[in-house]
C-alpha cells in the first residue's frame, strides 16, 4: 500500500518522472525516480536495500546522473532529510544546500560549481 501511495504521489506531482528498478546480477536491489526537466534533473527518490549499501553502487548511480547533468548543462537536485546518512555522499559529490522546505533540505549540484 505504501509503494502504491508513493507511486501515485510521484505520478501526480512529477508527471514526467521515470521509475527505474536498480538491479545487480539480476536481483532487484533498489529504485530510482528521476525527473528530467528542461532546466534540471531532479532525483525525486533513490533507495537501495540495506544489504547492498556501502558498496559504491549509489555513488556510481549518482556519478552517472551528474555526468548527464554535465553533458546537458543541467543542474541536478535532490531533497533529503538532514539526518539521512547519504547526505555525506551528496556533500562529497559536490551537492550544496540551497533551500529548506519543511523537514527536507534541497541540495543542488552544478557542473561549474565543483
Residue of 44, 74, 46, 42 lying closest to 59 (CA atoms): 46
DSSP string, 81-114: -TT-TTHHHHHHTT-EEEEEETTEEEEEE-GGG-
Rounded to an integer, the average pLDDT of 94-102 is 94
pLDDT tens-place string over residues 28-53: 999 999 999 999 999 999 999 999 99
Q: Using 50, 70 and 90 to split pLDDT, how confident is the model at 3?
A: confident
pLDDT tens-place string over residues 60-91: 999 999 999 999 999 999 999 999 999 999 99
Domains of the chain (ranges; CATH) run 2-113 (3.40.630.30)
Amino acid at each position: 500500500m505504501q509503494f502504491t501511495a508513493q507511486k501515485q504521489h510521484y505520478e501526480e506531482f512529477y508527471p514526467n518522472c521515470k521509475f527505474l528498478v536498480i538491479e545487480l546480477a539480476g536481483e532487484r536491489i533498489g529504485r530510482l525516480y528521476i525527473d528530467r526537466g528542461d532546466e534540471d534533473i531532479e532525483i525525486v527518490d533513490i533507495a537501495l536495500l540495506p544489504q547492498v549499501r556501502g558498496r559504491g553502487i549509489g555513488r556510481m548511480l549518482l556519478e552517472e546522473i551528474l555526468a548527464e547533468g554535465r553533458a546537458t548543462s543541467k543542474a541536478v537536485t535532490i531533497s533529503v532529510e538532514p539526518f539521512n546518512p547519504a547526505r555525506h555522499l551528496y556533500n562529497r559529490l559536490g551537492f550544496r544546500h540551497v533551500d529548506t522546505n519543511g523537514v527536507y533540505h534541497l541540495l543542488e549540484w552544478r557542473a561549474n560549481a565543483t
